């Protein structure tokens, strides 16, 4: 199976290649949820000349990123206890943060690129599992490139995860792990070009559900059983279940 990258996905790949040809500092890419980060990761891993380690914090993301890469007709290892696989010698390895951090002795060979999915989860704590992995890989290869992808580059209690934005803004401080944000796709672009459905704000209980038939208890509240019965038998719920029953099989997402 082959995938044709969407224009913005190709732009993200091109921005990464251009950056790491000229710099060794860590870089971040910001793509909204639904933009297809896994395809960007797959293409970068395919193009990399050296070995690549792709990290994610949950096994579902590890499996998803691995599947997109393999869909290109390529093979890659998985190192994740939750997926019952611990392979670390391939050119491309998809691993869970927890499993890799606990088995650093199996990652003594040099990697040229480390990609971190959901990179906003990286802690500043030197003892964190992310930092342990990064420090270990840098000891093996001081020139390793570090790329982070996220949909949420601003964290409460911390601020921006990068210092400089490629449009010229200064956002984080010099302590930020990622020096530069080298590409960002606005959510409005995804909506404008039909990649995402426009948001619609609704007060769901009022607009979609009718609780007028319910009788309050002596304490003035509805019983949980009555509420669940109403929700289960509401026309909205029936339409959702009906739609699921005749929906077509899942297709690959970009």
Under CATH, which number does the domain 7-192 receive? 3.40.50.300
User: What confidence tens digit (pLDDT) does each residue in 186-242 have?
Assistant: 999 999 999 998 887 766 555 566 777 888 888 888 899 988 888 777 766 666 666
What integer best gives the mean pLDDT of the chain? 90
Contacts by 3-9, CB closer than 8 A, 24 or more apart: 3/39, 3/42, 3/68, 3/71, 3/72, 3/252, 3/254, 5/39, 5/40, 5/43, 5/254, 6/36, 6/195, 6/254, 8/35, 8/185, 8/189, 9/35, 9/36, 9/39, 9/40, 9/43, 9/254
User: What confidence tens digit (pLDDT) does each residue in 107-146 have?
Assistant: 999 999 999 999 999 998 989 999 999 999 999 999 999 9
**Cα first-last separation, the chain:** 13
User: What confidence tens digit (pLDDT) does each residue in 34-93 have?
Assistant: 999 999 999 999 999 999 999 999 999 999 999 999 999 999 999 999 999 999 999 999
Domain boundaries, the chain: 7-192, 204-246
Answer for the pair 121, 57: CB distance below 8 angstroms, yes or no. Answer: yes
Backbone region of residue 27 per phi and psi (left: phi > 0; alpha: psi in -120 to 50; beta: other values) = beta
């Amino acid at each position: 199976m082959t995938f044709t990258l969407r224009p913005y996905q190709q732009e993200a790949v091109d921005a990464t290649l251009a950056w790491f040809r000229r710099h060794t500092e860590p870089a971040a890419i910001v793509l909204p949820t639904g933009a297809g980060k896994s395809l960007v990761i797959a293409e970068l891993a395919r193009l990399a000349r050296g070995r690549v380690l792709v990290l994610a914090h949950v096994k579902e993301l590890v499996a998803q990123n691995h599947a997109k890469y393999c869909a290109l007709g390529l093979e890659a290892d998985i190192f994740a206890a939750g997926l019952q696989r611990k392979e670390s010698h391939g050119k491309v390895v998809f691993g869970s943060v927890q499993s890799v951090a606990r088995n650093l002795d199996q990652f003594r060979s040099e990697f040229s690129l480390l990609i971190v999915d959901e990179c906003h989860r990286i802690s500043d704590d030197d003892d964190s599992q992310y930092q342990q992995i990064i420090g270990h890989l840098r000891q093996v290869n001081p020139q390793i490139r570090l790329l982070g992808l996220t949909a949420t580059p601003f964290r409460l209690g911390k601020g921006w995860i990068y210092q400089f934005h490629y449009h010229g803004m200064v956002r984080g401080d010099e302590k930020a792990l990622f020096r530069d944000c080298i590409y960002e796709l606005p959510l409005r672009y995804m909506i404008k070009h039909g990649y995402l459905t426009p948001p619609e704000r609704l007060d769901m209980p009022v607009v979609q559900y009718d609780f007028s038939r319910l009788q309050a208890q002596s304490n003035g509240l509805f019983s949980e059983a009555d509420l669940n019965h109403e929700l289960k038998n509401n026309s909205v719920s029936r339409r959702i279940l009906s739609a699921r029953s005749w929906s077509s099989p899942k297709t690959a997402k970009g």
